[in-house]
Chains A and B, each alone.
Chain A
């Protein structure tokens, strides 16, 4: 996701809030939609959600920082997620991670400078039969090898 202009952020937020009621139970679904639309939760967006729900801004911040799914900085256009569950681990996930880190030049939790890729690790996808597993956006790649990393991310090779 790319960084949007201020007016686009405002329009997207207005659109999201328009189909929610101002009930504090809606906080997490709203935050999820905002993140879906903007790629992360900018402070201005959290403030606007707080105002919409009549919640203190600190409470919105408290909830959103509690969940690992929410991001507070822009993320890359493509989201690379690697499983570090037990099955993937014993079948070589650390080597896959090493390769991805090398190719993208970032650590888990980081985003490439050109905002193309974000990398994170996941406790378990639940696809242990396919271990080790890598997911790029919604595409699942099973039985990963360092070589396959090159194939998947290869044409976008980093410096």
Chain B
């Protein structure tokens, strides 16, 4: 980027070409008052406070909308300029309360700051009488229009930054105001409560309900989804009272969603937090000392053979903790039976992308989204499950990126899409291969890329013969012309990026789905370049890291195969112990079967709640009940912990140090903000104690930083990562050496496996489809307002105000046929169980399909889902099963 030089107030100033006069001044440390400019928003020029004089220009241009040019001479403090500013502020404060000392924005108010700068000491114009009722309906913030100065920052934020568009300026002249559609209260609007408008409001119009200021702040990583937003926790008297987004990082750039901003602290201080180890005595839990609990865990674990023990690690815990727990399993308990919830989300990504590319992770970065000419979002409800990535996608679309959405449900992204493909659940292979067929038939593929970088193209071509448009349209339910249009748009917009999530993976043919996306990307040369790639969006805050750390039955840390004798020897030398044979352990889905059958007798579960997350959950619960010994380490007495023999109280992300690895492979710090609550202990400490009590020498760590040093020694992709380096910001693996800058884009020169491998595919229907007895198809997903099984988010009052119970989303046409009205309590029945919840009638669900989340223990949706497994990845078919819906009380 070239530089220009200009003179502001007689001072020579350098600025980037393309900067506005305001940006040039700010970069040079010259203050120009403004109330409507924001670095994240497009220039607006409405408040008229940033007016300046520019030599050779007539009048008083606004600095925020005027591009700086070479040799420009700017004066920001002339009498004419200050006269205008004075009048602007006089007019604003004629309409504005003057209760600064007791105002909720006191000392953080931009209007106050500008008035002080101008030396205003009196109200020159008479006070006008405007009076608006305050909208207090949102549980986290209020809208008090009596303070509003109509700068439209909130409105522009809602459209430009978040792409939600819940508010706009409505009415005209003196009656103009910020309003939702129909001028309804916030809670009756589509507002997602991310609070981005609240952050940017310069006055006390939009204010959080909690306005106390913290005494200190700690930078850390959000504990909810895989985006990995960086945020500051504000601490006051041992309590976390505030959260604010960190603007100086490449992941979220200050933005947060409702869970991160308003839902990440209440559960930390919740009265139900476990604060003491519990041991079951005569059927009841008794509080015991750590010494007693740990001794008993060690003693009882010793009684079992390696093949009788299984470990469930946690995608919510840190890298260091996952590393230690798999080490405990392999080095001390002698078993590879270790797995975690990635089995239920992205195991097909790991398997499918390993086959085609050689490594299974998001190929590109979140910061790349803006560079894509086309985004193809299939099987991802991004705005609900990865809100900040959703913001980024919508922002790209606003700037001209084309968006293709493939989703059976009318999700929020559909409104922003150029093409919406409404495929039938479970028909993705047909859809993707159909698009490949169009691209091959029309010669739109990247022949040079295929010739140079890929292999097995002929096999793909011949398997495409089966996917003619007739067949594909019949299977998917998508009109032929839409399939053609999508294929053309994806193939001709370069670069194009594919994003997917559980809609692709949670099928009995999940691995095939992933391979189909890889075929499509390789066909068009969309791998290894900025703004392209295959981007599986990881669900949990550290599910990427838990996989990286080898909390999987078939690999050591860094995806080093347990089947390799050389790898085994490497870790035996590194850990100074002998390790189990080179045979993979059991996947979690198989562990539950083995526990049910009595083959697994003892389990150690850290930070997971399989009773709500496993398919056919009743069966999983029974399996846990049959165990001789169950240890659960958690922050709450979860549904799973209630079944344990010993419960060990771990801590939340705010009470320990560590690292999480986000969906784009970025390793980021988690920092201790407060001391552990009660007698709870950091999870890494607990695992170390058990390791030591069982006689191992490999658990003498002073803290997580030392653990990371050991990880770096044994894990090539983490080789260059240390806490010292992470102080400067996150690092994306592979980062093999201390000098390596990290890898934002994978497969740039060659694929990890050498050549990208096309794979022929055939269409396989889902295992259980609707029939006469179970005529509807149930698909599952997430709500923005909760996370996973709700262990954390259900403890946040405000989030429960948004969504307090399960809702069965059903198309009005299906509902009418069943005599069901909106809000009726209904029973959803599958071959495996039944669940009761309220019905919500919505066109978002296609005819014949009902939708439920799995956040609510009172309506455990996974008692319905089908445990049929993908043969390669062992993931269950959580996205498709057959159900019938009955109005409660009737027999349907």
Q: Which residues of chain A have a CB within 8 Å of any CB of chain B?
A: 43, 46-47, 51, 54-62, 65-68
Q: Which residue of A lies closest to B414 (CB)?
A: A54
In contact, B172 and A65 (Cβ under 8 angstroms): yes
B190 within 8 A of A: yes
B179 within 8 A of A: yes
In contact, A58 and B168 (Cβ under 8 angstroms): yes
- Given A56-B165, A58-B167, 7 more pairs with CB closer than 8 A: A47-B181, A57-B165, A58-B168, A60-B181, A61-B182, A66-B172, A68-B172
14 A/B residue pairs, CB under 8 Å, sorted by A? A56-B164, A57-B165, A57-B190, A58-B158, A58-B165, A58-B166, A58-B180, A59-B159, A61-B180, A61-B181, A61-B182, A62-B169, A65-B171, A65-B172
CA distance A47 to B182 in the complex (A): 10
In contact, A54 and B415 (Cβ under 8 angstroms): yes
Contacts of A56 in B (CB 8 A): 159, 164-166, 168, 181, 415
- 5 tightest CB-CB pairs across the interface, nearest first? A56-B165, A62-B168, A57-B181, A58-B168, A65-B170
In contact, B179 and A62 (Cβ under 8 angstroms): yes
Chain B interface main SS type: mixed
CA distance A113 to B172 in the complex (A): 27
Q: Which residues of chain B have a CB within 8 Å of any CB of chain A?
A: 158-159, 164-172, 179-183, 189-190, 415-416
CA distance A46 to B190 in the complex (A): 15
CA distance A46 to B179 in the complex (A): 15
Q: Which residue of B lies closest to A63 (CB)?
A: B168
Contacts of A58 in B (CB 8 A): 158, 165-168, 170, 179-181, 189
CA distance A40 to B170 in the complex (A): 17
In contact, B179 and A61 (Cβ under 8 angstroms): yes
In contact, A59 and B415 (Cβ under 8 angstroms): no
Q: Which residue of A lies closest to B410 (CB)?
A: A51
In contact, A61 and B415 (Cβ under 8 angstroms): no
From the candidates B165, B172, B182, B189, name the one contacting A59 in the complex (CB within 8 A): B165
Determine how close the nearest CB of chain B comes to the CB of A20; give it in whole angstroms: 18
Contacts of A51 in B (CB 8 A): 415
Contacts of A43 in B (CB 8 A): 181-182
In contact, B165 and A66 (Cβ under 8 angstroms): no
Determine how close the nearest CB of chain A comes to the CB of B219; give it in whole angstroms: 33
CA distance A59 to B156 in the complex (A): 11
Contacts of A61 in B (CB 8 A): 168, 170, 179-183
In contact, A59 and B416 (Cβ under 8 angstroms): no
In contact, A66 and B159 (Cβ under 8 angstroms): no
CA distance A66 to B169 in the complex (A): 9
Contacts of A59 in B (CB 8 A): 159, 165, 168
Contacts of B168 in A (CB 8 A): 56, 58-59, 61-62
CA distance A61 to B168 in the complex (A): 8
CA distance A50 to B164 in the complex (A): 13
Q: Which of the listed residues B167, B168, B179, B190 has the most CB atoms from chain A within 10 Å of its own CB?
A: B168
Contacts of A60 in B (CB 8 A): 181
Q: Which residue of B lies closest to A64 (CB)?
A: B170
Determine how close the nearest CB of chain B comes to the CB of A74; give it in whole angstroms: 16
Contacts of A67 in B (CB 8 A): 172
Contacts of A68 in B (CB 8 A): 172
Determine how close the nearest CB of chain A comes to the CB of B490; give it in whole angstroms: 19
Contacts of B172 in A (CB 8 A): 65-68
CA distance A68 to B166 in the complex (A): 23
Contacts of B158 in A (CB 8 A): 58
CA distance A122 to B166 in the complex (A): 33
In contact, A66 and B166 (Cβ under 8 angstroms): no
Q: Which of the listed residues A51, A58, A65, A68 has the most CB atoms from chain B within 10 Å of its own CB?
A: A58
Known contacts A43-B182, A57-B181, A57-B190; A62/B170 CB under 8 A: yes
CA distance A92 to B53 in the complex (A): 50
Contacts of B171 in A (CB 8 A): 65-66
CA distance A68 to B415 in the complex (A): 28
Determine how close the nearest CB of chain B comes to the CB of A143; give it in whole angstroms: 33
CA distance A67 to B190 in the complex (A): 24
Contacts of A65 in B (CB 8 A): 170-172, 179
Q: Which residue of A lies closest to B166 (CB)?
A: A58
Q: Which residue of A lies closest to B163 (CB)?
A: A56
CA distance A46 to B164 in the complex (A): 17
CA distance A47 to B843 in the complex (A): 14
Determine how close the nearest CB of chain A comes to the CB of B110; give it in whole angstroms: 24
Contacts of A66 in B (CB 8 A): 170-172
CA distance A59 to B169 in the complex (A): 8
CA distance A61 to B169 in the complex (A): 9
Contacts of B159 in A (CB 8 A): 56, 59
Contacts of A55 in B (CB 8 A): 165
Q: Which residue of A lies closest to B177 (CB)?
A: A65
Determine how close the nearest CB of chain B comes to the CB of A7; give it in whole angstroms: 14
CA distance A47 to B172 in the complex (A): 21
CA distance A158 to B600 in the complex (A): 88
Contacts of A57 in B (CB 8 A): 165, 181, 190
CA distance A68 to B179 in the complex (A): 17
Determine how close the nearest CB of chain B comes to the CB of A53; give it in whole angstroms: 10
Determine how close the nearest CB of chain A comes to the CB of B412; give it in whole angstroms: 11
CA distance A62 to B169 in the complex (A): 6
From the candidates B169, B181, B416, name the one contacting A54 in the complex (CB within 8 A): B416
Contacts of B165 in A (CB 8 A): 55-59
Contacts of B170 in A (CB 8 A): 58, 61-62, 65-66
Q: Which residue of A lies closest to B418 (CB)?
A: A54
Contacts of A46 in B (CB 8 A): 181
CA distance A57 to B181 in the complex (A): 6
CA distance A59 to B181 in the complex (A): 8
CA distance A60 to B169 in the complex (A): 10
Q: Which of the listed residues A51, A60, A61 has the most CB atoms from chain B within 10 Å of its own CB?
A: A61
CA distance A107 to B167 in the complex (A): 31
CA distance A57 to B183 in the complex (A): 11
Q: Which of the listed residues A46, A47, A62, A66 has the most CB atoms from chain B within 10 Å of its own CB?
A: A62
Determine how close the nearest CB of chain B comes to the CB of A37; give it in whole angstroms: 20
Q: Which residue of B lies closest to A47 (CB)?
A: B181
Q: Which residue of A lies closest to B183 (CB)?
A: A61
CA distance A145 to B168 in the complex (A): 44
Q: Which residue of B lies closest to A58 (CB)?
A: B168
Determine how close the nearest CB of chain B comes to the CB of A67; give it in whole angstroms: 8
CA distance A57 to B166 in the complex (A): 8
CA distance A55 to B183 in the complex (A): 17
Determine how close the nearest CB of chain B comes to the CB of A149; give it in whole angstroms: 30
Determine how close the nearest CB of chain A comes to the CB of B376; give it in whole angstroms: 18
Determine how close the nearest CB of chain B comes to the CB of A155; give it in whole angstroms: 37
CA distance A60 to B190 in the complex (A): 14
